[in-house]
Amino acid sequence: MMADTVTALILAAGKGTRMHSNRPKVLQTLLGEPMLEYVYRALEPAFGERIFTVVGFGAEQVESAFPERASNFVLQKEQLGTGHALQEAWESVQKTGAGYCLVINGDTPLATTEAVERLAAQAGRADVAFMTITPQDPASFGRVVRDDSGRILAIVEAKDYDHATHGPVTGEVNAGVYLLRMDSVGQLLDGLRAENNSGEYYITDLVAMAVEQGMTVEGVTCGADVNLMGINSPRELIDAEKTLRRRIVDGLIDEGVMIHNPDTVIIGPRVTVEPGAELFGHVEIYGESVVRAGSVLNSYTWITDSSFAPGCVVRQFCHVEQAEVGPDCVVGPYARLRPGAVLRKGAKVGNFVEMKKAELGEGAKASHLTYLGDAVVGAGSNIGAGTITCNYDGKNKFITTIGEGAFIGSNTALVAPVTVGRDALVGAGSTITKDVPDEGTAIGRAKQLNLKRRMKKS
């Protein structure tokens, strides 16, 4: 066994009754990501692929959210407490050959890599080590019991704490992150008992058991660092989300991103924003979005899984989802880019224009009140206001192709599948059902008929 090698184990089997949701607690989201995602992100730099997860309530949902990690999932069929979860996972952890196991709860999205590495550094120094904090409100967290010399004796759950037996409350509580020597703790697991007010097997009981066996027990104190405290209610989740949002925004500002009105900017943890980008308040960016240096994103815009090249400007009140905005493009205001929308260099999408699975070529324009769905628009083309690509016949979707330099007049309906050739002109108000040749002109509307107006007699 590799004595100083540490494997991580996340306890993520609980329902989270106080969240009042049918989703497992670890799938509740902060900044658009499940809280369990944040725990993985904190552990990965230190443990790589040596991370196991105990799942239980809603296990299928958790596996669906993290399919790439499912091979390291351990199922806790009955949720009988943290100690029972550890028992269920012990065999899997043992097979890694690691000397230690770091255990952390899956409801701690504010935990940092630095914190878990600090505890992991105790490998080789203790049989059982755990992190302690001294928050202003100890709430329902397990109380740390020490003797007069400061030696740790036990962790006692709040509902089981007896002042006569355990002494006065000191305010020091268990943060719920443990480092366990495999050889030592393996001897104790079968001795866990559910003899408490909750009728559950507590991982915290291992501390007193280790003390009784003469093992080395250490508490790694973290002061008032509430980042290690778990989330148990909607209010705690909201407070944690505020902390995460501020942490991300402040970090980007320090790296050189210009963020105006930063208190109203929301950026997810997987978003990349390069130094030199400029963001204005009340913008939200989620998913795998990438914002390159020199791009400008204005207020009241919602973005997910999209990319923005240098020199592009997204004006106010836009919705951008799974789209690609190229260099020097202009989007909006009030534009909607749906999945598959691509703007090539210098393209322009104006107010109340919607694109879906469509490409706007280099320098092409769709400035007003237009829908481009399942379409390819050539470079330099101009799409007049009110143009619609009629891409759906009720059963299937078809492509509209518009050549380079084409001019589409206002209020045109292009009934796909149809091709408008290079440098072609389509008259305003046309319904185009047949291909238009290169440099051709197409008008598809009824002949105007003027009749004498019949006036009502007074």
Residue 133, strand partner residues: 173
Q: Does 319 participate in catalysis according to the annotation?
A: no
Annotated binding site for acetyl-CoA: 385, 391-392, 410, 428, 445
How far is residue 326's CA from residue 341's CA, in Å, rounded to a whole number? 11
| Tokens 């550890």, residue located | 86
Annotated binding site for UDP-N-acetyl-alpha-D-glucosamine: 11-14, 25, 76, 81-82, 142, 157, 174, 232, 338, 356, 371, 382
Tokens representing residue 297 in the block? 């994103």
How far is residue 247's CA from residue 31's CA, in Å, rounded to a whole number? 12
Annotated binding site: 11-14, 25, 76, 81-82, 107, 142, 157, 174, 232, 338, 356, 371, 382, 385, 391-392, 410, 428, 445
**Of the residues 166, 260, 319, 368, which is catalytic?**
368
- 216: exposed, middle or buried (Cβ count in 10 Å: 0-12, 13-18, 19+): middle
Residue 3: Cβ within 10 Å count: 12
Which amino acid, 245? Answer: R
Q: Which long-range contacts (CB under 8 A, 24 or more apart) does 149-154 make?
A: 152/207, 152/211, 152/217, 152/218, 152/219, 153/207, 153/208, 153/211, 154/204, 154/207, 154/208, 154/211
Residue 91: Cβ within 10 Å count: 9
How far is residue 458's CA from residue 451's CA, in Å, rounded to a whole number? 21
How far is residue 325's CA from residue 314's CA, in Å, rounded to a whole number? 9
Could you tell me if residue 133 is left (phi over 0), alpha (psi between -120 and 50 degrees) or otherwise beta? beta
Residue 377: partners with Cβ closer than 8 Å, 6 or more residues away: 358, 359, 360, 361, 364, 366, 383, 402, 406
Active site residues: 368
